[in-house]
């Protein structure tokens, strides 16, 4: 009987602890919101968004909020899109190749269909490597999702308190004109360096990360780690 | 042995092209399936707004690859 009583007592006290923790986390997030102004649009093809509501990741902890969501600037897709357009017009010149003309009609048709299927595959693979190349910064850590190719992807993360140095770089006419570049983060963790390439507003992103580091250090001093 | 020489006599360039098409498209259908799997894995890693569009494109790409493989088997 005593055990039952103590168990129910424990049940009542637990939510209080978690609500305290959650409210503490909310305080840290609200502090971040004061420092980092909302910007960017949260959409299907967005490459820069602060405090996105409809994005979450696999190892996201309860109460952990995404502060910054980044993808490479959409302009980086221009190269492969132009190549895809050129490839799409190549079948128009098939007739100039004598072996093609000697093939029966059904073989010619299959060649055209296969060509456009391969083109679709190329476009889809390139789109995927852009779409799933993501950088996420939460109120606790930085997460880098690198979709190198179809058979190779890396998901690495580091706590903000472990970030030591942040550099932003913008070089060349295109990067200056379209305001995109790379941000490199040096950490004391297992992954010594995070490089986010071709991301929009690199200076702003570097500034945001620095502000997050400052807030984290301030929280440490105040004794509110996590 | 006679059957084999008969087979070799009837073997034309078109037969090679046909085998090339069917094997190539079969491998491509497998590749399209792997792409579809990868989309699923990535979608689980990062859940985003309207990502079902990418899933639909992946499914359409895989179905198209299978459809073209079937056409090749029927037409060639």
Mind listing the pLDDT tens digit for each residue in A60-104?
888 888 888 999 999 999 999 999 999 999 999 888 887 888 888
Residue contacts between A and B (CB atoms, under 8 Å): 91
Task: Determine if the pTM surpasses 0.90.
Answer: no
Partner-chain contact B57 A153, CB within 8 Å = no
Determine the 3-state secondary structure of B29 from DSSP: helix
H/E stretch holding A213: helix A202-222
| Predicted local confidence at residue B9, as pLDDT | 64
pLDDT at res. B28: 96
Note whether B46 contacts A136, CB cutoff 8 Å: yes
d(CA A104, nearest CA chain B) in Å? 9
What pLDDT is attached to residue B2? 63
**Mean pLDDT score, B27-37:** 94
Closest A-chain CA to B39: A128
Option in B31, B42, B68 nearest A132 (CB): B42
C-alpha B3/C-alpha B9 separation (Å) is 10
Interface confidence, given as ipTM, is 0.86
Q: What pLDDT was estimated at residue B16?
A: 85
pLDDT of A221 reads 80
Q: Is B35 within 8 Å of A145 when comparing Cβ atoms? A: no
Contacts 24+ apart (CB under 8 A), A88-92: A88/A116, A88/A119, A90/A115, A91/A115, A91/A116
Q: Which residue has the tokens 């910007």?
A: A39
Render the burial of B23-59: b for 16+ CB within 10 Å, e for the rest: eebeebbebbeebbebbeebbebbebeebeebeebbe
Mean pLDDT by 10-residue block, N- to C-terminus, for chain A (226 residues)?
Answer: 44 43 57 70 83 84 87 94 96 85 88 94 93 90 83 83 88 91 86 86 89 83 64
């Amino acid at each position: 009987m005593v055990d039952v009583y103590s168990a129910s007592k424990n049940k009542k006290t637990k939510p209080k602890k978690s609500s305290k923790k959650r409210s503490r986390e909310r305080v840290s997030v609200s502090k971040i919101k004061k420092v980092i102004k909302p910007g960017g649009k949260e959409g299907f093809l967005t490459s820069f968004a602060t405090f996105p509501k409809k994005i979450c990741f696999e190892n996201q902890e309860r109460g952990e909020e995404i502060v910054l969501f980044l993808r490479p600037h959409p302009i980086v897709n221009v190269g492969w899109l132009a190549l895809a357009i050129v490839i799409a017009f190549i079948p128009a010149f098939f007739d100039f190749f004598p072996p093609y003309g000697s093939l029966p009609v059904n073989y010619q048709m299959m060649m055209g269909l296969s060509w456009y299927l391969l083109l679709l595959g190329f476009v889809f693979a390139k789109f995927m490597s852009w779409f799933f190349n993501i950088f996420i910064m939460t109120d606790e850590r930085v997460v880098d999702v690198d979709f190198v190719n179809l058979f190779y992807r890396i998901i690495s993360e580091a706590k903000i308190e472990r970030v030591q140095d942040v550099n932003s770089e913008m070089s060349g006419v295109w990067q200056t004109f379209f305001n995109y570049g790379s941000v490199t983060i040096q950490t004391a963790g297992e992954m010594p360096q995070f490089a986010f390439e071709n991301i929009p507003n690199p200076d702003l992103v570097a500034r945001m990360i620095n502000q997050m580091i400052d807030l984290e250090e301030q929280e440490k001093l105040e004794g509110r780690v996590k | 042995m006679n059957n084999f020489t008969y087979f070799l006599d009837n073997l034309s360039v078109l037969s090679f092209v046909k085998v090339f098409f069917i094997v190539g498209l079969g491998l491509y259908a497998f590749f399209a399936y792997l792409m579809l799997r990868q989309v699923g894995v990535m979608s689980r890693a990062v859940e985003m707004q309207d990502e079902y569009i990418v899933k639909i494109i992946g499914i359409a790409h895989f179905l198209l690859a299978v459809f073209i493989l079937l056409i090749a088997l029927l037409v060639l």
